[in-house]
Amino acid sequence: MKQQNPIKALVIGATGRQGGAVARMLLERGHKVRAFTRREESADANDLMRLGAEVVHGDLKDRLSIERAAMGCDAIFAMCTPYEEGPAGETQQGINCADAAKNVKCRHLVYSSVANADKQTGIPFFDSKYRVEQYIRNVGVPYTIVAPAYFMENVLSPMARPELEQGRLSLPLSGDRGLQRVALRDLARFVALVMEERERFLGMRIDVASQELTGFEEARTLSRLSGRSIEYQRLPIEELRKSHPDMAQMYEWFERVGYSVDIGRLHSEYPEVDWHTFERWASAQDWAFLKKRAVA
């Protein structure tokens, strides 16, 4: 769907999974995208250029590089990561984005946090995002905070795929514990809606999820769609804690508390997103690698 009044958006992290989905959705809807990345020579950057994006080099540690990239843009989509410099580094990245947005007088900063980050979870990389949220609220820039739940795409991550190839879906959660998920396309479509209808969303914080389902339900769906028997296996949390203590803390919180997105209300208020169930999302994926493994 092409927009009559296209916006120009700076998409931070555009060669990553989340930023890439947002950049592609905005381009698909007829908007102009300036893709901010440290990997301007990457295949993902080249793909975005072929789709019509302008790719610019920048670093979230360098506020001035964000400001240069944001000049002339109507909106900024900002997402940061704790994976290289830890939660404190992620918070500083977010602060740099907010300061840059203010300095260039950006009309709309859309910050991607995480669902329930405002609920004092104690999870380090939830708290780091919430500190950015607090800063954005006080710095004086027009903003919307979008807070996604667990991504459906995590089942295809490099950590999960080897287990699937062995016929196992493995998570450190009880198999009957519900976990709210969001499809990347749904998040990207929601971000596009937020940017297109700026006045409707200014000053809001919105948790985003597509569906809640259990590990047992996920395994049954994958088995049916792939033609390969997939069994759910609960991983010992202590094994995860040895290598990824912050992730272990997150899964313990999932088990005890979990996300609390009002999914019914969200979908009722924003039907434009065309929300995915897990089955609908999974039906669009290529599970041939599981079938090949089963034959082998």
Domain at 8-151+184-209+261-275, CATH homologous superfamily = NAD(P)-binding Rossmann-like Domain (3.40.50.720)
Answer whether residue 255 shows pLDDT above 90: yes
**Mean pLDDT confidence for 263-287:** 97
Q: What's the angle, vertex CA 283, arms to CA 158 and CA 22, rounded to 5?
A: 65
Residue 60's closest CA among 44, 43, 84? 84
If one counts every other C-beta atom within 10 angstroms of the C-beta of residue 265, the result is 9
**Would the pLDDT of 1 be above 70?**
no
Indicate if the pLDDT at residue 295 is higher than 70. no
Residues whose CB is less than 8 angstroms from the CB of residue 238 and which lie 6 or more positions away in sequence, other chains included: 248
* 3-class secondary-structure state, position 218: helix
CA distances to 12, 112, 113, 167 from 91, rounded to whole Å, are: 15, 12, 11, 38
Q: Match 């080249």 to its residue by tokens.
A: 46
* Predicted confidence (pLDDT) per residue in 18-31, tens digit: 999 999 999 999 99
What is the C-alpha to C-alpha distance for residues 91 and 83, in angstroms, rounded to an integer?
12
Q: Is the whole model's pTM more than 0.85, yes or no?
A: yes
Give the tokens for residue 32. 């102009």
What residue segments make up the domains of the chain, in order of their start?
8-151+184-209+261-275
The residue that leads in pLDDT, 144 or 290, is 144
pLDDT of residue 3: 64
Mean pLDDT within 55-60: 95
